[in-house]
Structure 1
Amino acid sequence: MNSMRGAATYARGAGAYARVGVESGVMAASPHQLIVMLFDGAQASIRKARIHLEDGNIAEKGLAISKAMDIVNNGLLAALDREQGGEVAENLASLYDYVVRLLRAANRDNDPASLDRAAKLLDDIGSAWRQVGGGASES
């Protein structure tokens, strides 16, 4: 029984440590790095959704897809500056909307191909974002 309590305490402590690490990373990140973190988070959620789908854990699959959709809608899409970004921002908004539709279809139809298409699009956009940031100075 003591080992069970110890494991539970360790898990809570490890979770708290991870949250502090993420929060510290967010607090210290530049705007560019925050966008990269959003891409990474969406991809991680899609990977989790795929694993849960393959394991037949439909409820957890749905939660992971919902998290990915939330990151795309309330993170990546919300971060677009449509006034200054012009046509590029509008094109990204359309792509993000399409990604969300793919994720919705993957959730509704338990469709791994839709998950793969969404992940590929986010990977392509995220890679371009990383390349742009690698050569630009951040303020």
Structure 2
Amino acid sequence: MNAYLENMVLTSNPVMQVILLYEKAITCLEEAIEIMEKGLQDHENVKAKYEALGRAADILTVLKATLNMEQGGEIAKNLSEIYQALINDLVRITVEGDEPETIKKMVKVLKDLKESWEAVERKIYGKPQETTPAV
């Protein structure tokens, strides 16, 4: 499966690559929410929660770093601020702890942004590429 995903990323258009990053960040945050809601506090689950939050922060850092501030203008500036706010929240959650509701709000923001990028992809490339394997 990793080879499949790697191939998808390498052969995707740039907009689809952004969408795939959003999907992975959302998945990571949802993993952390699931662990938090189950109240699992054993070492392995706490470690898994922090790893999931860390992966989400890494993805947001990549998304922020790849913004072209010159060409992107106001949109790039706004995205940069959103990504930074989400990264700051993840750092705070990692240090201080928090309720899953905060992470759920972050997931909502990322899903909304992902939908916007999907609309961009449809406009530029027509039919969106398949992001999950056909069954």
How high is the TM-score relative to the length of structure 2?
Answer: 0.82
Task: Tell me how far 1:45 sits from its aligned partner.
Answer: 0.3
The one of 11, 31, 38 aligned to 1:28: 11
The one-letter amino acid paired with 1:52 is I
| Matched-pair contact (CA < 8 Å) for 1:43–1:119 | yes
1:90 to 77, 81, 85: 77
How many residues align structurally?
120
Aligned structure 1 segments of 4 or more residues deviating by more than 3 angstroms:
none
Sequence identity (%): 27
Taking structure 1 as the reference length, what is the TM-score of the superposition?
0.80
Higher helix share: 1
Q: Deviations over 1:63-115 (max 9, x none)?
A: 000000000102x1122100100111011000001111222233331321210
Displacement, 1:126? 1.0
Aligned to 1:19: 2
- Superposed displacement of residue 52, structure 1: 1.8
Q: Highest CA radius of gyration, 1 or 2?
A: 1
Structure 1 unmatched ranges of 5 or more? 1-17
Aligned counterparts of 1:101 and 1:122: Cα–Cα separation in 2: 15
Cα RMSD for the two superposed structures: 1.4
